Amino acid sequence: MIPPALDTRPLAGVTVLDFSTLLPGPLATLMLAEAGARVIKIERPGGEDMRFHGPIVGEGREAMSAYYALLNRGKEIFTVDLKSPDAVERLRPLIASADVVMEQFRPGVMERLGLGYEALAAINPGIVYCAITGYGTCGPRAAQPGHDLNYQATTGSLAIGRLPMVDPPPPGLLAADIAGGTLPAVINILLALLGRAKTGRGTKLDIAMTDGMFTFGFFSQAQGAATGRYPDPGEPIFVGSLPRYSLYRTKDERLLALGALEDKFWLAFCDFVGLDASLRDDHATPVETRAAVAAKVAERTHAEWSAALAGTEFCVTPVASMAEAIADPHFLARGLFAHSVTTPSGAVLPAAVVPVAPQFRGPPGTVPAPGV
Question: Same structural domain for residues 48 and 197?
Answer: yes
Query: If you ran DSSP here, which 8-state letter would residue 275 be given?
Result: -
| Cα-based distances in Å from 28 to 38, 167, 179, 278 | 13, 33, 11, 51
Determine whether 53 is an active site residue.
Answer: no
What confidence category does residue 165 fall into, taking pLDDT thresholds of 50, 70 and 90?
A: very low
Question: Same structural domain for residues 73 and 173?
Answer: yes
CATH at 200? 3.40.50.10540
Q: Is the pLDDT of residue 372 over 70?
A: no
Is there a domain that residue 118 lies in? Answer: yes
Determine whether 147 is an active site residue.
Answer: yes
Distance separating alpha carbons of residues 281 and 36, to the nearest angstrom: 53
The residue segments making up the domain with residue 185 are 4-215
Distance separating alpha carbons of residues 331 and 328, to the nearest angstrom: 6
For residue 145, what pLDDT is reported? Answer: 79
Q: Locate all alpha helices (DSSP H) within the chain, ordered by sequence.
A: 24-34, 66-71, 87-97, 109-112, 117-123, 148-154, 157-160, 175-177, 183-199, 209-213, 218-227, 263-273, 286-297, 302-309, 322-326, 329-333
Q: Which entry of 18, 148, 177, 282 is annotated as an active-site residue?
A: 177
What confidence category does residue 2 fall into, taking pLDDT thresholds of 50, 70 and 90?
A: low
Q: Is the pLDDT of residue 137 over 60?
A: yes
Contact indicator for 179, 210 with CB cutoff of 8 Å? no
Question: Same structural domain for residues 39 and 101?
Answer: yes
Question: Same structural domain for residues 200 and 262?
Answer: no
